[in-house]
C-alpha cells in the first residue's frame, strides 16, 4: 500500500493478496468443470509416464497436460467456496 501523504495508507491494491485469476468469476458450471478436470487430469500422467517420454510428441503432450492442469486448478479453485464461508 502506498502512503497518500496524510500519514494514512491508501487502498491502492485492494486485492493485492489474491492471484489475478481469483478475481475473475466464471459461471458455476464452468468453474465446476475446471475443478473436476483439475482433479481427473493427473490420472493421464501415470500411463504417459509408464509408457515413457522418449518421443518429442509425448514430451510436448506431457508439458501441455501440466499447463492445462495448472490452468484448470486456477480457474476451478472457487468451486463451492462460497458455500463454505
d(C-alpha 70, C-alpha 10), whole Å: 33
Q: Is residue 50 part of a domain?
A: yes
Q: Is residue 80 part of a domain?
A: yes
Q: Is residue 6 part of a domain?
A: no
Radius of gyration of the chain (CA): 19
pLDDT at 68 over 90: yes
Domain count, the chain: 1
pLDDT at 50 over 60: yes
Q: Is residue 11 part of a domain?
A: no
Note the pLDDT of residue 77. Answer: 85
Q: Is residue 12 part of a domain?
A: no
Q: Is residue 75 part of a domain?
A: yes
**Mean pLDDT computed over 48-74:** 95
* Cβ within 8 Å of residue 58, ≥6 positions away: 48, 51, 52
- The set of cell numbers assigned to 34 is 475446471
Domain coverage including residue 50: 19-84
Q: Is 26 helix (H, G, I), strand (E, B) or coil?
A: coil
Give the H/E segment covering residue 3.
Answer: strand 2-3
pTM higher than 0.75, yes or no? no
Amino acid at each position: 500500500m502506498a502512503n497518500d501523504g496524510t500519514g494514512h495508507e491508501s487502498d491502492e491494491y485492494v486485492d493485492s493478496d489474491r492471484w489475478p485469476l481469483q478475481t475473475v468469476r466464471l459461471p458455476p458450471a464452468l468453474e465446476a468443470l475446471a475443478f473436476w478436470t483439475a482433479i481427473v487430469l493427473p490420472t493421464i500422467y501415470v500411463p504417459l509416464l509408464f509408457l515413457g517420454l522418449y518421443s518429442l510428441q509425448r514430451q510436448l503432450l506431457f508439458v501441455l497436460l501440466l499447463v492445462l492442469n495448472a490452468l484448470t486448478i486456477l480457474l476451478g479453485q472457487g468451486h463451492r467456496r462460497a458455500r463454505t464461508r
